[in-house]
Structure 1
Amino acid sequence: MQHLGKLEKIIYSAQDGIATIIMNDPSNLNAIDEQMADELLTAFQRAVQDAEVKVVVLKGLEKAFSAGGDIRYFYQRIQAGGEVSIDELIAKVGVLADHMKRMGKLIVVAVSGPAAGAGVSLALGGDFLICADNAKFILAFVNLGLVPDTGATYLLSKSVGVARALALAATGRPVNALEAQSLGLAHMVVPKAELDEAAMKLARELAAGPLVAYSNLKRQIYDANFRDYRRWLQETEIPTQHACGQSEDFKEGVKAFIEKRTPKFSGC
């Protein structure tokens, strides 16, 4: 078994041709901050470089896959009167999102519990999504006065169509595991106790398959559907999220979330 050193928020291991990446920051419910984004990218790059690795499995905690952005950090900055900039984070998660779709090795994502905000994007960034029956997907960005990031708008538009993608992003309503499957987002839904084994079973089956064909299949899919993904992340996602992140609505959304009240948006 191979381990990747100097990682604090994830656990990386590789054994029998399968690399497993576990987001492991229970104190923050796997919030996607800059460190988490950096460590995830490092782990995926290591999996690509390791000739022994054939398939990658991405997992979260049993309690939650990922809570999305680190809202408490934003709240502390706002309360202290400091500048709140999310530009660097959005740039980093964009690189991660593109890398996951571009890499030649298949990614199985296993989701237990809620995936919120950027956690939804990460889950959609893999190639096969397996959900525990307690999984829940929440595009919570709108509740903070933000737009989806980490490629979520792009990926959802491609997978469920423009109207559904807009409705999900604009309302932020939760989508449970069965609805995710009916929408074509989830490959499989299993009881929570069976999630790990279901993900590893699929990973083992894929690892025993024609890897050259899989790699070229991902290349075909990328070129057919994601050729402009990197440009869109850089030229559309970053500036639109920057504009939202500078708004008074963002500050109000963050404060309302932490203070557990309904936000009073002003539209500016």
Structure 2
Amino acid sequence: MTTEDVLLRSDRDRVRTLILNRPKAYNSLTVELKERLLAELTQASADPGVRAIVLTGAGKAFCAGQDLKEHVGLLQAGDDAPLRTVGEHYNPIVTAIVEAPKPVIAAVNGPAAGAGAAFAYAADLRVAANSANFLMAFANVGLGPDSGASWTLQRLIGYGRAAELMLLARTVGAEEAQRIGLVGEVVADEDLAGRAQEVAAKLAAGPTVAYSKIKGTLATAAESTLREALAAEDAAQSALGATADHHEAVEAFVAKRKPDFTGS
């Protein structure tokens, strides 16, 4: 890939890093970038050699959300593509992040707004740089949330805080984001890439089949009764008990050695 690509990809320690690469436009989302991101997420999820995914941005921003210049230009040209983008792009991207059968880490390297912030909310873990901030500004342009933000944000910080951030369109800095549970960790800007890789590599070396089941049972429990959650846990444990990773973990425990997980 060249530096002109709207999305860059790198692999290290079984971690695939996807970098939104429109730094001059704060990595705002064009049709091309959305389609590339969806394709790369889909490919990374299916690739057995990839066991964790990091999503980040180039330059000083994580992602400013929809590219409004393209949005307005297409509408003025009579193209209704912007009216279809939620269903064609944003919903599938968020679904790909949430349902990826391996951990997804958002390395939030700067401002994250709109759909860009929603992509970070959809990730399993969020590591933020000191310069990061989050903004749900949909109300400022007479719109409601999209990209799953109405579902993900309140599960991270609760209904009351989610409503406040969406109705008032208030920017949340990195320190507050950590305090309210929006991100798990805040590091110096220069340490972000290394820390995100460290976390992702640790997960990539772990029992990724179990991680997939953990994600699935959490998603089920978020919108089910206790009995339904118990049934989902039972099914997951039954399946995981037969995996090579579980047997390896038991053998390693008995032998007092570090387990060597294969993701199977």
- Residues 139 and 172, structure 1, Cα contact 8 Å, conserved in 2: yes
3-state DSSP of counterpart to 2:175: helix
3-state DSSP of counterpart to 1:147: coil
3-state DSSP of counterpart to 2:11: strand
Structure 2: gaps spanning 5 or more residues: 225-264
TM alignment of 1:131-210, pairs within 5 A: 131-210=128-207
3-state DSSP of counterpart to 2:165: helix
3-state DSSP of counterpart to 1:109: strand
Taking a change above 3 Å as real, the CA distance of residues 105 and 143 of structure 1, as seen in their structure-2 partners, is: same
- Residues 71 and 82, structure 2, Cα contact 8 Å, conserved in 1: no
Q: Distance in 2 between matches of 1:24 and 1:159?
A: 27
Aligned to 1:251: none
- Whose radius of gyration is greater, 1 or 2? 2
Residue 87 of structure 1 pairs with residue 83 of structure 2: yes
TM-score by length of 1: 0.77
Q: Distance in 1 between matches of 2:106 and 2:209?
A: 21
Letter in 1 for 2:86: I
Q: Distance in 2 between matches of 1:50 and 1:136?
A: 32
Letter in 1 for 2:181: G
Give 1:226 deviation, angstroms. Answer: 6.2
Identity of aligned residues (%): 34
Give 1:173 deviation, angstroms. Answer: 0.8
Pairwise CA RMSD of aligned residues?
A: 2.0
- Residues 102 and 222, structure 1, Cα contact 8 Å, conserved in 2: no
Q: Distance in 1 between matches of 2:35 and 2:223?
A: 22
Q: Distance in 1 between matches of 2:72 and 2:120?
A: 26
3-state DSSP of counterpart to 1:8: coil
Give 1:11 deviation, angstroms. Answer: 0.7
- Residues 116 and 140, structure 1, Cα contact 8 Å, conserved in 2: yes
Aligned to 1:30: 27
* Greater RCO structure (CA 8 Å; 6+ sep): 1
- Residues 153 and 169, structure 1, Cα contact 8 Å, conserved in 2: no
Give 1:82 deviation, angstroms. Answer: 4.0
- Residues 130 and 175, structure 2, Cα contact 8 Å, conserved in 1: yes
Tell me the number of residue pairs that the alignment of Structure 1 and Structure 2 aligns. Answer: 222
Give 1:41 deviation, angstroms. Answer: 1.1
3-state DSSP of counterpart to 1:59: strand
Structure 1: gaps spanning 5 or more residues: 228-268
Letter in 1 for 2:83: D
3-state DSSP of counterpart to 2:196: helix
TM-score by length of 2: 0.78
3-state DSSP of counterpart to 2:145: coil
Give 1:179 deviation, angstroms. Answer: 0.9
Residue 70 of structure 1 pairs with residue 73 of structure 2: no
Taking a change above 3 Å as real, the CA distance of residues 192 and 226 of structure 1, as seen in their structure-2 partners, is: farther
Aligned to 2:246: none
Q: Distance in 2 between matches of 1:98 and 1:84?
A: 23
Give 1:81 deviation, angstroms. Answer: 7.2
Letter in 2 for 1:121: A
The 4+ residue runs of structure 1 with deviation greater than 3 A are: 74-78, 80-85
